[in-house]
Structure 1
Amino acid sequence: MEAAGGLAVTTGVGVNAGVEALKSAGVPARLAAKDATLWGPEAETEASIRLGWVDTFEKSKELIAPLAKLRAEFGEQGIDHIALCGMGGSSLAPEVISRTLDLGISVLDTTDPGQILAEIGEDSLRRTAVVVSSKSGSTVETDSQRRAFEAAFKGIGITDYAKRFVFVTDPGSQLEEFATEAGSHLFLADENVGGRYSALTAFGLVPTALAGADIAELIDQAETFATAIANDGDNPAVVLGAVIASRETITIADDGSGIVGLGDWAEQLIAESLGKNGKGTLPVVLEDPGAAGARGSDRVYTTVGGSSTGLPNSGSQLAMPDTVVNGPLGAQFLVWELATAYAGHLIGIDPFNQPNVTESKENTKRILAEGLPQERPHAVDGAVEIYGSHAETVTGALGELLVDADNDGAYIAVMAYLDRLDDAPVAALRAELADRTGAPVTWGWGPRFLHSTGQFHKGGRRTGVFLQITGAIGEDVEIPGRDYTFASLQAAQAAGDRQALQSRDRPLVRLHLTDRKRGVNQLLHAVRELS
């Protein structure tokens, strides 16, 4: 165990060699000093402009007063609800903060028309301010959501809707120019911080402060922990980094920490940072400490919170973790960021680039211009159309996945382009599949996973087996100023990702739900029929 700055990491995994390698090379002190050479000459250019997160909490103190002022102004106008339009690093950290503090922010990291419609209804819209977050300023999902909100505000007679928008972006982006011209509220983020490392920048703090979070406390927690990262004494992040690098897969569950959803944020951080060059560590988020698939010889089971006594040696099948991370949320953000960067050094990976993320985006853009590919189902079973399988039934198609996953190093990725609120029961598939196979099983809601594990799917180890789930659309939503709708954008994103995976000869089955509720029930029944 190593503890410092209010946070402790305890592990029963043999990571002494990794810890010693990091400390003997002076990596903690060099990273604290923002040494861009830590990941080799090929990574140096990118790293030189991506290390602001190491101490960005200092700069973020400047946000506290103006955000408190804007929150008070919104309160005087009867605005008490925040909708966040963002993807990946722009939405996952705010979601953790919001869920942990029960702030009730609506996070729109989707193109599903059902979720969009639920958010732009008149009753909630009259008391809503919209935070639009995009580092590049050109993210297609957030641009589309902004257009939908603008039209909705106009539709209920709110003429000064520009003042309902708060934009968070990097200096010099096209979104900065748009916000300035529109007269909307604007907060510029630290341009030397990549999206997935941006939890303690404006991306994580603006929407949550406007919803009532005490961001000064989060900053203080990170600052307290940061005092430990450069010295020669205990550094919990070094231990966690060695743990992440020690296995092909890290499984993550919360065990009573009071922090809600940290695993989803850490999943993006680890997968997008380390899943490239045919290697990396696959993160798997578990529903709870007793969830299926936690343990295995290829993975390290880690909990946020929970007991740190009596940890088993690696390989034990006892229902207790290999590693425990205990500490407050602000420190948790920083320790996982540091640990991921340390793991990149140990594995020999640049943790700051994402060479394969743009591929599916480019496919989507092309499909929107040319039209959806013509595809015919191999079979129809009840409310489910089956593509990419030789099976005639849903149970048979799922069985094929298990056969494909019965190889060394294989993992199953379930990717659901559905409404993650109304269609939430379908997520039970992850645990059901994990219970029936020895392979790690990940779950991703589309398109948000494209900004997360999507990088690992294409750039990480080449052993993935993929199940894509799509669904029929009830009521569509127009995107003003575009010649496509949310339904067609969602369909193009799913098709673009399929093409990216198929071009790599990855096993992929697509199940299309012609009736979502019936189809979800049918999928769950089918997976439970598998032996």
Structure 2
Amino acid sequence: MSVRIAVSGAAAEAVERLVPQLINDLVASRLTGGDASLWGADAEDESSKRLGWVQAVSVSRPLIAEIYELRDTLRAAGVDHIVLGGMGGSSLAPEVITRTYGVELTVLDSTDPGQVMAALADRLATTAVVISSKSGSTLETDSQKRIYEQFFTDAGIDPLQRIVIVTDPGSPLDIGAREAGYRVFNADPTVGGRYSALTAFGLVPSGLAGVDLNELLDESEAVMLELSIDHPDNPGLVLGAAIAGTVPLKDKLGIVIDGTHIRGFGDWAEQLIAESTGKLGKGILPVVLEVDSPELSENLADLQVVRLVGDWDDTKDVADGEIEIAGSLGAQILVWEYATAIAGRLLGINPFDQPDVESAKIATRALIDNPSIPATPAFVVGDIEVRGTAAVVDGVSDLAGAIDKLVASLPADGYVAIQAYVDRVAHPELLTLRDALARRSGRPVTFGWGPRFLHSTGQFHKGGPAVGVFLQITSAEQPDLQIPDRPFTFGQLIRAQADGDASVLADHGRPVLSLTLANPAESLPIIISALS
């Protein structure tokens, strides 16, 4: 087998109980055949437009020659650095693919002005940029395209020779880019963004950067037959049942990279699972963990641990209550896509819509169109401005007290989400907050870089179980950067995205603590101290 799975405990019980029924219902073969009725009548209209990913390997094969031809043309012109401007599924899949293959790709999935300026300053003369947006109207990628057009032009470089577009056919970006003369790759419109890893969205930037795309698709093809057969060993059926069928449901899924060669898989799987399942007050929350993360020693009843392991050891028993899975990247991508779709059927939700994603976008647009003065901080600690919902900051005058109230608002089955609207390249040290808050709260903690998480876990935060509390971190660092032909800057945009999301979370009754840092590196020890 190209993918191997071992289960124990509640996950094993779920597999034993549910896989025979999934086989009896012909779920695997019906899914492979594009049967849109698998998720019920209410979901059928949307599902009928979103099942192209099961055929992505064969549909995408002809793209490879075009991608390689363009790569050779760019290299012949001295271009050896690829930047990807994309959000959500458009950036997370290429990131895990290139990291796993050891190929350099600069992923610009932010509107933070510092991160944008750092990308612009990095080898512009030998850079090509892939602008990737399924809808063709994504605000972040439109802004990234505009700024690269300006910088290329100012440097005497023709943007038409350096910017490549990936989008759905007929999108506003597709129409405008073709009229302007850009090179455009169209993706399969019957594939949703989070299932698009093996389509043009995953392949174009990865291939231009130097990934062996034939090898990647070969890895996926090797598991296709197993996934299509209604059989007890089908890895999609087994994984789907294991993550969505436990009784009671273990609705926090701890994803641990433990010996596999695959890099960054948790971040990609996080978006796939959270955005697919987090709706109607239901869902599975992926929690990306390290082998020594605090949650793994807490014995949490609602945390299902799945480990991506390397070489399979038949003599070693899987840890009690855990799931272990081994396989190549291409195979894992397809298995997890199948498993997530099957999990949707078991949970009784439509895994292909995202009804709550738009709310944060609407709030952002409103704040951009009608900018307002930031709310007065509840209090200030050094250079840290503290704001939040009333239940968190009222009657509090220090950071430790606010964190105490945030943690105290956690339900017994709750989680904490850290949302860092900060330059992730310049400030990776902020990731240390995740373990510190997990130790402090004794509960699962997720960490998302804003605004990219709005296109992934943002759906779960609003549409999933109402048990989350939120620590939002924003940056007041300067300088700023004007977005060409727009009446706002990158700094104003990312602040509007943070404020808009915080307001939507508050409207949903979620507790929010927001910290604005003048200097993230200097503020981190203060926050860590308050947590402890």
Coarse TM-score class (shorter-chain normalised): over 0.9
Distance in 2, Cα, partners of 1:422 & 1:394: 24
Q: Deviations over 1:353-378 (max 9, x none)?
A: 00000000011001101113540111
Matched, 1:7 2:9: no
| 1:515 CA displacement | 2.3
Q: What amino acid sits opposite 1:278 in the alignment? A: G
Which of 246, 252, 270 aligns to 1:267? It is: 270
Matched, 1:280 2:287: no
Alignment of 1:360-375 (within 5 A): 360-372=360-372, 374-375=374-375
Determine helix, strand or coil for the equivalent of 1:385.
strand
1:78 aligned residue: 78
2:529 aligned residue: 525
Alignment of 1:117-128 (within 5 A): 117-121=117-121, 124-128=123-127
Which of 407, 412, 416 aligns to 1:408? It is: 412
| 1:385 CA displacement | 1.2
Q: Bigger shift: 377-386 or 512-521? A: 512-521
Q: Deviations over 1:144-192 (max 9, x none)?
A: 001111111112121x221101100001111111221221111100110
Q: What amino acid sits opposite 2:55 in the alignment? A: D
Determine helix, strand or coil for the equivalent of 1:83.
strand
Contact 1:8 1:236 in 2 (8 A): yes
Distance in 2, Cα, partners of 1:456 & 1:145: 26
In terms of fraction of residues, the more helix-rich structure is 2
1:249 aligned residue: 252
| 1:440 CA displacement | 1.1
Q: What amino acid sits opposite 2:479 in the alignment? A: E
Q: What amino acid sits opposite 2:368 in the alignment? A: L
Q: What amino acid sits opposite 1:290 in the alignment? A: D
Q: What amino acid sits opposite 1:112 in the alignment? A: D
Determine helix, strand or coil for the equivalent of 1:38.
helix
Q: What amino acid sits opposite 1:310 in the alignment? A: D
1:313 aligned residue: 320
Q: What amino acid sits opposite 1:313 in the alignment? A: D
2:328 aligned residue: 328
| 1:58 CA displacement | 0.3
Distance in 2, Cα, partners of 1:64 & 1:517: 43
Determine helix, strand or coil for the equivalent of 2:39.
coil
Determine helix, strand or coil for the equivalent of 1:511.
strand
Q: Deviations over 1:64-99 (max 9, x none)?
A: 111111111001100000000000010000000111
1:18 aligned residue: 18
Determine helix, strand or coil for the equivalent of 1:37.
helix
| 1:437 CA displacement | 2.2
1:472 aligned residue: 476
Matched, 1:170 2:173: no
1:186 aligned residue: 184
1:289 aligned residue: 291
Distance in 2, Cα, partners of 1:127 & 1:521: 39
Contact 2:27 2:230 in 1 (8 A): no
1:317 aligned residue: none
Determine helix, strand or coil for the equivalent of 1:28.
helix
Distance in 2, Cα, partners of 1:423 & 1:22: 45
Q: What amino acid sits opposite 1:184 in the alignment? A: Y
Matched, 1:395 2:391: no
Matched, 1:203 2:201: yes
Q: Deviations over 1:242-271 (max 9, x none)?
A: 122032110001112111000000000000
Contact 2:387 2:515 in 1 (8 A): yes
State TM-score, norm by structure 2: 0.95
| 1:443 CA displacement | 0.5
Q: Bigger shift: 349-358 or 386-395? A: 386-395
Percent pairwise identity: 48
| 1:525 CA displacement | 2.8
2:500 aligned residue: 496
Determine helix, strand or coil for the equivalent of 2:494.
helix
Q: What amino acid sits opposite 1:146 in the alignment? A: K
Determine helix, strand or coil for the equivalent of 1:78.
coil
Contact 1:271 1:455 in 2 (8 A): yes
Distance in 1, Cα, partners of 2:331 & 2:404: 43
1:225 aligned residue: 223
Aligned length: 513
Determine helix, strand or coil for the equivalent of 1:290.
coil
Determine helix, strand or coil for the equivalent of 2:443.
coil
CA RMSD of aligned residues (A): 1.2
| 1:477 CA displacement | 0.8
Distance in 1, Cα, partners of 2:209 & 2:519: 36
| 1:393 CA displacement | 1.9
Distance in 2, Cα, partners of 1:106 & 1:21: 45
Q: Deviations over 1:473-503 (max 9, x none)?
A: 2111110010000000000000110111011
Determine helix, strand or coil for the equivalent of 1:95.
helix
1:319 aligned residue: none
Which of 413, 429, 436 aligns to 2:433? It is: 429
1:145 aligned residue: 144
| 1:229 CA displacement | 1.5
Distance in 2, Cα, partners of 1:28 & 1:303: 24
Contact 1:163 1:183 in 2 (8 A): no
Q: What amino acid sits opposite 1:24 in the alignment? A: N
Distance in 1, Cα, partners of 2:432 & 2:284: 24
Contact 2:28 2:227 in 1 (8 A): yes
Matched, 1:34 2:34: yes
Contact 1:248 1:299 in 2 (8 A): yes
Q: Deviations over 1:444-491 (max 9, x none)?
A: 110000001000000000111111111112111110010000000000
Alignment of 1:374-389 (within 5 A): 374-388=374-388, 389=393
1:318 aligned residue: none
Q: Which ranges of structure 2 fall in alignment gaps of 5 or more residues? A: none
1:212 aligned residue: 210
1:112 aligned residue: 112
Q: What amino acid sits opposite 2:259 in the alignment? A: G
Distance in 2, Cα, partners of 1:451 & 1:107: 15
| 1:339 CA displacement | 0.2
Q: What amino acid sits opposite 1:134 in the alignment? A: S
Q: Which ranges of structure 1 fall in alignment gaps of 5 or more residues? A: 315-321
| 1:524 CA displacement | 2.3
Q: Deviations over 1:395-437 (max 9, x none)?
A: 22222222112x2211111101001111110111111111222
Distance in 2, Cα, partners of 1:418 & 1:431: 18
1:301 aligned residue: 305
| 1:57 CA displacement | 0.9
